[in-house]
Amino acid sequence: MSERTTAFPATRDEERILAELNKKFVHDARRQQLIEISYRIVDSPIGGLLLASTEAGLVRVAFETEGHERILDVLAHKVGPRILKDDRSLDDAARQLDQYFSGALQEFSLPLDLRLSTEFRRQVQLELGRIAYGQTQSYAQVAEHIGKPKAVRAVGSACATNPLPIVLPCHRVLRTDGSLGGYLGGLGVKTQLLKLENPEFGGGEATLF
């Protein structure tokens, strides 16, 4: 006959000790360069967002619909397997996203790591950051702005594979006829972000904000 064990919740002192040990572990791991990627998941009005960073900067923002475990697997393959969940990391990114969703921030100021993108896609994705808050451009306009007016389809692909949505605002890019086009987080989320920035935006679905 097997014995049953009862699990008791940790006391506040035990939680504090565990938090301190985890902090020390993270500090030592960073000092010894044992971590290639730190990540955390933050709540937002559009669902949980996975934030991941390298020593160079923010490398990925992922929606729940992408599957956070799948994204971590991709990062392990493309960046490195030494990944650590650290709820104390990425404070600047989490704070700026919170300010963005509250309407208090219009432009992000974060170090970025675009190693997941090809040279052309990096060029497009950085151009996205120049589209003003509350404004939109067409894929064709973005292609013109980077000096490659015939690369409209390639611009669309660069937007669709943008590793840093919201921070590099691919949601501000529409089709020439004003329709939404595509979006990694889904067209409902794209509409919500556009209406957050400009309540008079007339396309897409109703906003949650």
pLDDT in tens, 95-147: 999 999 999 999 999 999 999 999 999 999 999 999 999 999 999 999 999 99
Question: pLDDT band at 27, cuts 50/70/90?
Answer: low
Asked if the structure places residue 50 within a domain, the reply is yes
Q: What CATH number is given to the structural domain containing 46? A: 3.30.160.70
- Is 159 annotated in the active site? no
Asked if the structure places residue 82 within a domain, the reply is yes
Question: pLDDT band at 207, cuts 50/70/90?
Answer: very low
Question: pLDDT band at 10, cuts 50/70/90?
Answer: low
- Above 60 in pLDDT, residue 81? yes
pTM of structure: 0.81
83 in the same domain as 45:
yes
Output the pLDDT for position 88: 77
Number of domains in the chain: 2
Q: 151: domain range?
A: 119-197
50, 90, 170, 180: the catalytic one is: 170
Dist CA 72 CA 61 (whole Å): 11
In what side-by-side order are the strands of the sheet with 37-42?
58-62, 49-53, 37-42, 83-85
146 in the same domain as 93:
no
